[in-house]
Structure 1
């Protein structure tokens, strides 16, 4: 069911429930008021009959004088019955009155409180005890409240017709207001339908920028910005990857074709095989780097406590082995105020953290001929910091803005080994460990890579 239909249905049911409840209250109030008013009138008529017939002694003497039966009847179908102290019928306004209901309640009237009951059909009755000169007479008066009941019937019809009409208006109003409330949603849907992979630069209209729909549009716009950035990164990655993979493949194929066609001696063949092997190694290294980058994006093993200083020492050993003549320095920065047994502990994966730190050291050694300075310490009580500084050529602001794009290589990387995957891989590893990587650089002075990781 469409949301508009749901809103209309719920709004209609809610208003209908309110209408029916209010109508039932009005009807019940009027019916109760009518009954109480008519019962009060019956009591007055019974009291009047007692005063006229019992107090004057006419009923006791049996001589009504000038009073006729119909003289005491004030409302349509009124019936009056009076029973004596012994329960005998002393007076009835009509000889055809059915005394069955009166006799049923005769034994219950032992107090001065009147008893109300329904005699037959719509005829309502009251019975009360009237005392005179130490004797108790029981008076029953019944009648039909025709006028008030007719008014109550008209009220019932009026409420029924009014509720049906109000229901129709409620459905129309609910349909209109639901459509009006959902109009911004429909607008967002139309705008979203026009957005595709080829035009991710389009954005949703954010309306008044204050209500919930505006917040939803803003959230979608943020998501679209991230998607656009991801698509651009993917395009750049695919472009660079195809180029990087094509070069060693072309070299390998060309070398093998040349060897097959022109190599006639063992020395020539060995030279071609060496060139082909170098191209294959380059292709293998690039493939492994791409697989490592994809692996970090997947599910990682459950984190365990890891000593970051041991990871850094292991990365320094790898760097010493790869650059045996390079000076690598390690210092320790600020430590926690209360020294504990397990300092430099972080939750994560030791192999990945070592890889990330080695990539930073490898870049520093690759693009700098001077000493490489590493510092490990606490940036805050629960935050560890690793800073690696070199004195190389540095990076321009434009190069820094693209440095985390896979397969991107700065101008100074020309002629140097690498695939442009080390920093993107390092950034993903650091982010998957809940940390942050930041590079600052000054052209001609050097580059500083800083890693912040949450401590255990």
Structure 2
């Protein structure tokens, strides 16, 4: 079901429930008031009849007062299907307004006794409403019964039912129209966002959604979507750049190996010439394998679902130093320790994957050794009590400021470092690994003076 229809339905049901509850409240209290008024009329009729038939001896008021003075205006009103019965203190029937009056319900009420405090008791006598009350002085109490049909009151009640029914039906129509209007007005910003989103395609990711006033929920949704769209645009651009560079880098050794093999097949006349051609092709294929391994490492670093456990970063660094020393036997790698907070159960402990972290550190060490002929200094310490830092510093060729922000892009190489072997994957892999571990890679460099790469990771 559409959100618009859900809003209209819920709004209609809510307001209709309130409307019906109010109508039931009005009808209930009007019916109770009618019943009370009619009961008072019946009681008044019964008392008037008792005064006329029993005389002054049974009157609770002054016996010298004339009976006519005891009449009240309400006593003169006629009641539809009026039935009056008077019982003596010994429960004998003294008076009945009509011989056809049934005494069944009267006798049942008579057997229950008078109500406490002399309050009239309401009950039903067939289709008629009736009351029972006492009359007379203490010691000589008569029981009076009056019944009748409240034609006017019931007619008014029926009119009220009709009015409430028509009002609720009309209100239901207005509620539906109001719900449709407010739902339409409330969803207009969403419809606008949807319309704008439909215009955004993979070929045009630069478009953005209107953020409206920037404060309400729809604006927050648009802001969040624009941020996500910006990330998607960057990812698309990075993917396009990666695919372009990767295709170029892969095509070069493949083309060279193929050309070498084709030339050797066509022109080599002896075994020595064939071996030279095969050796050249093997070297090209080795470059291709190295590049492929680098791309696989980059893809592995992009995966966020690797197994995580508590890892000693100093042990990962020791392994990376050993592997780098094996690659560059004549290079001096100096390991220093920075500040370490007190009261640490396990120093240099982080949460992550030991193999990935070792690869990340090895990439930093390999770059430092590749672009610098002097000693490489590695500092292991803490930036703050919750962040472990590994800084790898060299005094090599450095990186231009304009290129410093791009050297972590896959397959991008700075202009002054392209004479060295490599594919521009190491720093990209290290940055991905840092991000997957909740850390960051920070680079500082000056041309001709060297580069310092610092890996920050959250401590356990």
Q: TM (normalized to structure 1)?
A: 0.93
**More deviation, 98-107/398-407:** 98-107
Which secondary structure state, in structure 2, belongs to the residue aligned with residue 408 of structure 1? coil
Which secondary structure state, in structure 2, belongs to the residue aligned with residue 107 of structure 1? helix
Which residue pairs with 1:176 in the alignment? 181
Q: CA deviation at 1:392?
A: 1.7
**C-alpha separation in 2, matches of 1:76 and 1:307:** 100
1:117 aligns to 2:116 (yes or no):
no
**C-alpha separation in 2, matches of 1:372 and 1:93:** 124
Q: CA deviation at 1:48?
A: 2.4
**More deviation, 236-245/446-455:** 446-455
Which residue pairs with 2:2 in the alignment? 2
Which residue pairs with 1:251 in the alignment? 256
**More deviation, 38-47/417-426:** 38-47
Which residue pairs with 2:412 in the alignment? 408
Which secondary structure state, in structure 1, belongs to the residue aligned with residue 112 of structure 2? coil
1:51-200 alignment, distance < 5 Å: 51-56=51-56, 74-111=78-115, 112-121=118-127, 123-132=128-137, 134-200=139-205
1:363-442 alignment, distance < 5 Å: 363-442=367-446
Which residue pairs with 1:358 in the alignment? 362
Which secondary structure state, in structure 2, belongs to the residue aligned with residue 370 of structure 1? coil
**C-alpha separation in 2, matches of 1:186 and 1:73:** 67
Q: CA deviation at 1:344?
A: 1.7
Which residue pairs with 2:338 in the alignment? 333
- In structure 1, the gaps of 5 or more residues are 60-64
- In structure 2, the gaps of 5 or more residues are 60-66, 69-74
Q: CA deviation at 1:72?
A: 6.8
Select the residue among 293, 296, 312 that pairs with 1:291: 296
**1:301-330: CA deviations, max 9, x gaps?**
432332222222222222222222222211
Q: CA deviation at 1:57?
A: 5.0
Which residue pairs with 1:206 in the alignment? 211
Which secondary structure state, in structure 2, belongs to the residue aligned with residue 77 of structure 1? strand
Check conservation: 1:73, 1:79, Cα contact below 8 A: no
Which residue pairs with 1:19 in the alignment? 19
**C-alpha separation in 1, matches of 2:273 and 2:135:** 142
**1:360-391: CA deviations, max 9, x gaps?**
01111111222211111111112111111111
Which residue pairs with 1:38 in the alignment? 38
Select the residue among 311, 314, 318 that pairs with 1:313: 318
Which residue pairs with 2:71 in the alignment? none
Check conservation: 1:109, 1:115, Cα contact below 8 A: no
CA separation of 1:133/1:313 partners in 2, compared to 1, >3 Å: closer, same or farther?
closer
- Alignment size in residue pairs: 445
Select the residue among 425, 443, 454 that pairs with 2:447: 443
Which residue pairs with 1:240 in the alignment? 245
**C-alpha separation in 2, matches of 1:327 and 1:162:** 94
CA separation of 1:231/1:339 partners in 2, compared to 1, >3 Å: closer, same or farther?
closer
**More deviation, 216-225/330-339:** 330-339
**1:96-146: CA deviations, max 9, x gaps?**
32223222322223353422112232x211111223473232211112222
